[in-house]
A = this chain, B = another copy of it.
Amino acid sequence: MSDVAALAGVHKATASRALNPSTSGLVNAATARRVRTAAEQLGFTPNSAARSLRTNRSFTVGVLLPDLTNPLFPPVARGIEEVLNARGYTALLANTDNDEAKERTQFEALRGRQVDGFIIATAQRVHPLLDEAYESGVPIVLVNRCTDKRLFPWVAGDDATGMALAVEHLLGLGHRSIAHVAGPQSMSTGVTRVRAFRHAVETAGIAPERAPVVVSESYTAPAGERATHELLEKHPDTTAICAGNDLIALGALHALKARGLRCPQDISLVGFNDMQFADEFQPPLTTVRVPHLDLGAEAARLLLERLDRYEEKGHPAPMSKTVFLPVRLVVRASTAAPPPHGA
């Protein structure tokens, strides 16, 4: 502000230049030093509203998360924050509770706050809001889920490989009746994992009717529990279950207990994500580990890359790079050999 300039005996324009790293080369080193110490003395903090107003950049990015209480997302958020903070950006986290209206509200609120871009973890396969957003040209990176139209850069775990690993593990244990309790088919993760599951069992020469798929209406334990009951009604001879994610697996665990089935002695169970506390379940869950922190970090990097380019060229290159991060199977105690036939 002008107080600082006055104290340093210069014009406020010079003070501004001295304080801004990218323009400080324009002022005399001695003057710059004087200004900086003056700023220090006065405890000066630049008013970012004024800066944004003039520069049209807020150094803030909006992060849309479907549900903070799902342990999957906090690490993603941290990864995002880490990368962003290192570059002087701030992440604005917002919950949508998987509610499209709430999502729209949050999105508008953030746009109004002049965020420079978005990292979005709430994508549905068909997503009007994102279509509109694409038209408007806001920089956006998708994380975890994506839309059917591949309009945006996208970072996710390698779901196909993950599911293949899970099925191979179960096959290796001797299972031949493997079911999949899938996540909602309105999300890309839901269909990708179903497709990978089908491919894996088919490759192993298992007849489709011995590899049923039921769909859970959401990625939550209660929904997973209901879907598992449904599965076991129709296919009581199932010996192993691949769950769409760890919360569905947790619900499956509840369903098994309710039916008097032991895991893994009667039925083996594999989760997906390796979320926090998956190793504390009873039994500790065998699951596919997705590097959540890296997911967020990589998404943030992609967005920054996009923002840099935006700044330089003034126009966004039409970039919809997809990044799959490697996953691996973590074997714990929820999987074992199938019970002897007819036991």
Contact of A320 with B by CB under 8 A: no
A49 touches B45 (CB 8 A): no
A105 and B81 alpha carbons, distance in the complex (Å): 13
B48 touches A112 (CB 8 A): yes
Residues of B within 8 A of A75 (CB): 69
A78 touches B90 (CB 8 A): no
Restricting to A53-111, which residues have a CB under 8 Å from any CB of B? 53, 58, 60, 68-69, 71, 74-75, 77-78, 81, 85, 90-95, 105-106, 108-111
Contact of A209 with B by CB under 8 A: no
Number of interface residues, chain A, beta carbon within 8 A: 40
A113 touches B60 (CB 8 A): yes
A92 and B115 alpha carbons, distance in the complex (Å): 12
Q: How many copies does the complex hold?
A: 2
Chain B proximity of A35: nearest CB distance (Å): 18
Segment at the interface with B among A177-185, A228-236, A275-283? A275-283
Can you show 22 pairs from A to B with CB atoms below 8 A apart?
A45-B108, A48-B112, A48-B113, A49-B50, A49-B58, A49-B113, A68-B74, A68-B77, A69-B74, A71-B276, A71-B277, A77-B95, A81-B94, A81-B95, A90-B109, A90-B113, A91-B94, A277-B277, A277-B280, A280-B280, A280-B282, A282-B282
A228 and B92 alpha carbons, distance in the complex (Å): 39
Restricting to A175-217, which residues have a CB under 8 Å from any CB of B? none
A47 and B54 alpha carbons, distance in the complex (Å): 12
Q: Which residue of B lies closest to A74 (CB)?
A: B68
Contact of A46 with B by CB under 8 A: yes
Contact of A163 with B by CB under 8 A: no
- The residue in A90, A105, A109, A113 that gathers the most chain B C-beta atoms within 10 A of its C-beta is A113
Contact of A15 with B by CB under 8 A: no
Closest 5 CB pairs of A and B: A49-B52, A68-B74, A93-B93, A282-B282, A49-B53
A111 touches B71 (CB 8 A): no
A133 and B277 alpha carbons, distance in the complex (Å): 36
Among B47, B53, B95, B282, point to the contact of A50 (Cβ < 8 A).
B53
Contact of A114 with B by CB under 8 A: yes
Question: What 1/0 flags go to A240-283 for Cβ under 8 Å of B?
Answer: 00000000001000000000000000000000000011001110
A92 touches B95 (CB 8 A): no
B47 touches A114 (CB 8 A): yes
Residues of B within 8 A of A111 (CB): 45
Residues of B within 8 A of A74 (CB): 68-69, 74
